[in-house]
Amino acid sequence: MDDKQSKDKHPLDRYLQVYTRDEVKVFFDRAVTELERQDQVAKKRKDRYWIWGFIGALTVIVAVVLGIKLSDQTIVDKAHQLVANNPQYKVIPQGEAPGLYPNMLPIPGGKMVMGCSVGKDDIVGCRDTEYPAHLVTVKSFEIAQHEVTVAQFRQFILETDYLTDSEKELVGCVSLNLNQGKPSWYMDPEYSWHSSRFEISEESPVVCISWDDTQAYIKWINAKTGRQYRLPTGAEWEYAARAGSSTAFAWGDRPRRKFANYKGVGGADRWRYSSPVGSFPPNAFNLYDMAGNVWEWVEDCWHERYDGAPKDGSAWLTQCDKLNTRTRRGGAWDTVEASVRPAIRSKGGENDRSYVYGFRLAHDFIDTKSKK
């Protein structure tokens, strides 16, 4: 066969000289089957998001029909009135450090669409774990104005000689190794709540804290003060972070470095790592760093979706013993824009710790003025 005849032959003939026609047919059928399978997977994924979107939209419609304001200035006004009417509360100004104990502020109860809502949270992009959006009724409660600081945690350590999980296991906590070609997470023995490779101050949020460590701190502060502090529930945390807003972020539809410490696409802001608590403007409830800075542990056990979640704002405590996995909220200084939305949530084992994990406290609301 000369070169001209070789060029004139159909390209498939080259393969038919090696494989039989029946074998080629098998290959063809397999390829068609795989394409159909991929098409079905894509269709199912599209249908799933459409269903979630429909449920989220329906939830919003129901909320409107029931008279639930998705952006509620009244709730914000009530929060400010509670501070004014109860002398045990005070608002610490931006840039001023809290004392040795968390400064608690009252949050009035109300209703909220929790999770990813169509036309709101999904403007930036939602994770599967934020579905389905659902109505939640939250009772009045208190929450700390700031994340627990190094100074506050140090007071606990000085009085108890407690060793955190990072110190007990002598392996430190998780950090990002930037010295390799491809950044990777690893357990760094040089990291603990009081030691790190980056500068921390007494006003920095305490990090390298496991969920178990938060429970030890809470046990101490309750004995010290005679109160009943706890971690916020997932619903309380999101309700406080939204602060009556109806947008993807507490301040609007788009991420803005003015309001939160996060890395994002453009790289770190003036703080390469965590920032002192209260460095950014507070939300409408006068709470600092509900977006970014450090991930905050909440009371809830982890669930991949919101199916079956409590609707009364209580902690979701099913399967805790089985999974030993808890929930974190709010994003951190190393996260992308979408991870500082109020709806974002993530998981971690009860003794997991990282230089981006911290916490803040909550407490049941006690209206002392009404009891007089």
Residues 121-128, mean pLDDT to the nearest whole number: 86
CA distance 326 to 337: 23
Same domain? 355 vs 309: yes
CA distance 172 to 192: 6
Same domain? 93 vs 138: yes
Same domain? 28 vs 95: no
Same domain? 184 vs 313: yes
Look up residue 244 and give its two tokens: 């009556």
Residue bearing tokens 């955190």: 164
Q: What is the pTM of this model?
A: 0.81
Report the number of distinct structural domains present in the chain. Answer: 2
pLDDT digit string, tens, across residues 135-149:
999 999 999 999 999
CATH number (domain holding residue 337): 3.90.1580.10
- CB-based burial label for 36 (10 Å; 0-12, 13-18, 19+): exposed
User: In Å, what is the CA distance from 180 to each residue of 185, 186, 265, 314?
Assistant: 11, 12, 21, 44
Same domain? 257 vs 200: yes
Angle made by CA atoms 132, 136, 139, in degrees to the nearest 5: 155
Banded pLDDT at 199 (limits 50, 70, 90) = confident
- Please provide the average confidence, as pLDDT, over all residues in the chain: 84
- Which range has the worst mean pLDDT, 9-23, 105-119, 123-137, 162-176? 9-23
pLDDT digit string, tens, across residues 205-253:
999 999 999 999 999 999 999 999 999 999 999 999 999 998 999 999 9
CA distance 343 to 116: 6
Same domain? 165 vs 216: yes
Q: Which domain holds residue 48?
A: 1-67
Same domain? 29 vs 161: no
Same domain? 189 vs 303: yes
